[in-house]
């Protein structure tokens, strides 16, 4: 038997929402696995810092400014990555918004803003990358979903609807593209400790309520998410497509 290949040496990976939090960590771990990483976000200054960090660790990185709420920006960004690296082999669709709204308080603006990024923007990133990958005959797309797209969570009507849409979109794209060499999957985390979630998770009462729902007894780390993404992006994950991989410590098992 041969070895199982979890490496990404020489592959080009695009990470959206790469300037902070989970996206930043995913970009670093993809570079550690050997990928040439295009770090994408709206904030050009933060992308410069990301490139410096990855290159300082011996990796290869390229900044690309993409606003996922703007389809023209998406298409221009993916063309720029292809022109720079010669291919787009992996897409990690990480850019997204999160917010808590009681359902009766949701406004049209709340709905439209979140859907524009979490679902509409994600789809058009899939499309832009998918067109390049289909022409190549190979590619990996990993969409960032959430446990809130699988089970209901109070005050998350809009967010859950967007992530439920991501899950079914993932399955449809897998059906359409897998036979042509492009796998499409999603990773659905539970609460992940990041600088953005620390304000809530550092509150003992809030954390206690979260941990009551997680059988494994802790919140997730960025590396917990990165491990799942790396598997699905690597040759080792080649038989997996149309799947939503829950990284939830057992939250949805009950």
Full set of structural domains in the chain with CATH: 12-194+222-244 (3.40.50.720)
Average pLDDT, the chain: 96
pTM more than 0.95: yes
Task: Give pLDDT tens digits for 209-251.
Answer: 999 999 999 999 999 999 999 999 999 999 999 999 999 999 9
List pLDDT tens digits, range 83-124.
999 999 999 999 999 988 899 999 999 999 999 999 999 999
Task: Report how far apart the first and last C-alpha atoms of the chain are (Å, whole number).
Answer: 38
Counting Cβ atoms within 10 Å, is residue 31 exposed (0-12), middle (13-18) or buried (19+)?
buried
Q: How confident is the model at residue 43 (pLDDT cuts 50, 70, 90)?
A: confident
What single DSSP character describes residue 216? T
Q: Which residues are catalytic?
A: 159
Q: Are 28 and 54 in contact (CB under 8 A)?
A: yes
Report whether pLDDT(48) > 80. yes
Two tokens, residue 105: 């308080």
User: pLDDT, tens digit, for every residue of 158-174?
Assistant: 999 999 999 999 999 99
């Amino acid at each position: 038997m041969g070895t199982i290949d979890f490496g990404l040496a020489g592959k080009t990976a695009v990470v959206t929402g790469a300037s902070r939090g989970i996206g930043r960590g995913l970009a670093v771990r993809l570079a550690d696995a050997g990928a040439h990483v295009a770090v994408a976000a709206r904030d050009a200054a933060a992308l410069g810092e990301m490139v410096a960090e990855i290159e300082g660790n011996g990796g290869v990185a390229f900044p690309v400014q993409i606003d996922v709420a703007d389809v023209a920006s998406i298409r221009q960004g993916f063309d720029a990555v292809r022109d720079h690296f010669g291919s787009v082999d992996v897409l990690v669709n990480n850019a997204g918004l999160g917010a808590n709204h009681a359902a009766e308080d949701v406004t049209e603006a709340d709905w439209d803003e979140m859907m524009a990024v979490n679902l509409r923007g994600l789809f058009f990133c899939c499309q832009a990358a998918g067109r390049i990958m289909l022409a190549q005959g190979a590619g990996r797309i990993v969409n960032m979903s959430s446990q809130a797209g699988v089970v209901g969570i109070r005050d998350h009507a809009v967010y859950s609807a967007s992530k439920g849409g991501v899950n079914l979109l993932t399955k449809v794209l897998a059906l359409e593209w897998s036979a042509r060499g492009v796998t499409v999957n999603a990773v659905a985390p539970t609460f992940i400790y990041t600088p953005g979630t620390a304000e809530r998770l550092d509150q003992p009462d809030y954390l206690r309520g979260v941990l009551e729902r997680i059988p494994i007894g802790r919140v997730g780390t960025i590396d917990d998410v990165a491990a799942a993404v790396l598997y699905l992006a690597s040759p080792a994950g080649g038989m997996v497509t149309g799947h939503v991989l829950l990284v939830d410590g057992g939250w949805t098992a009950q």
